[in-house]
Chains A and B, each alone.
Chain A
Amino acid sequence: MAERQKIDARGAFCPGPLMELIAALKLGAVGDEVDVWSSDKGSAADIPAWCAKVGHAVVETSEHDGYWSVVVRKAK
């Protein structure tokens, strides 16, 4: 059964949140989701761009109080 893991990368500097997401995806199974929280202003655009490049799916992106949540599903 697919799982959703949360990574709280708030306070990490670029490209830390992306690298933490990638490490989590490497360890997960296809279909698993990772919800990465980032206060880095670039992450909201960086993470979807990376997903489009390598073939993972962005489930949703939302802005909260001082941080962004980007949910990514491992597709391969």
Chain B
Amino acid sequence: MSAKPLYIMLCSGEHEKIQLAAMVSSVAAVSDRPVEVFVTMNALLPFERGKSPEERYQGGHFHELFVTKKVPDAIELFSQGKMLGDMKMWACSLVLDLKHWECDTHLAEDLFDGPMGLAKFLADAENGEMITI
């Protein structure tokens, strides 16, 4: 029996929470569980194209540890999840509108599957389990 899809609504801009979302989504995706990640609000800011890992994140105690101990970048983990598993990432259309951003030109390359509205994501998520970070 196939596992229920996992839907993750990522809205926090804190490094620790983005790292957790990257870990959960990538491990679930490589464990034969379809995953869809909806990135919205402050969480979308670190995905701006051209930012280095050093300038991308803000956070607290674990943010400092992630940086000093060179823990793999969350965006790299999301990319691995997409490459090795069944995983899709969607950028919130509201945030894109407010920032005047396009997925193809303003967000990290080859990561997002496109823009999405909340109603579509919520409708899709009725088919699985959703967590909010």
Contact = CB atoms under 8 A, between A and B. Distances in A.
A50 B27 CA distance: 9
A50 B69 contact: no
Interface string B62-82: 000000010110000100100
Contacts of B77: 15, 19
Nearest to A16: B72
Which secondary structure dominates chain B's binding surface?
helix
Interface in B20-38: 23, 26-27, 30-32
Q: Which of B26, B30, B69 has the most CB of A within 10 A?
A: B30
Given A23-B84, A26-B84, A54-B32, A18 B27 contact: yes
Interface in A49-71: 50, 53-54
Sorting the interface of chain B by its residue count into under 10, 10 to 19, 20 to 34 or 35 or more gives 10 to 19
B72 A54 contact: no
Contacts of A22: 30, 84
B23 A50 contact: no
A30 interface: no
A16 B71 CA distance: 9
Interface string B25-68: 01100111000000000000000000000000000000000000
Interface of B: 23, 26-27, 30-32, 69, 71-72, 77, 80, 84
